Amino acid sequence: MYLLDLLESNITVFITLLILFALPIIIGLYVFTKRTGPEADFEAYEENIEKDTKEEGIKPK
């Protein structure tokens, strides 16, 4: 008798492909689309810079 039948081998191939391709893609999308700091909200960052420079009397570039 065979060790694995056709259904089990298809499931094994599917899980292997999922691990090899889908998980790294999902992790990569999460890592490279998550933004923090000025990149997250550039308009709010500019407003804060303008407000800080006005309070300190520094001219923005």
Start-to-end CA span in the chain (Å): 77
Determine the 3-state secondary structure of 45 from DSSP: helix
Structure tokens at 3: 């060790």
Contact 14, 7 (CB under 8 A): no
Residue 55, pLDDT above cutoff 90? no
- What distance in Å separates the CA atoms of residue 22 and residue 15, rounded to the nearest whole number? 10
- What distance in Å separates the CA atoms of residue 16 and residue 21, rounded to the nearest whole number? 9
* pLDDT tens-digit series, residues 11-42: 999 999 999 999 899 988 888 886 666 666 67
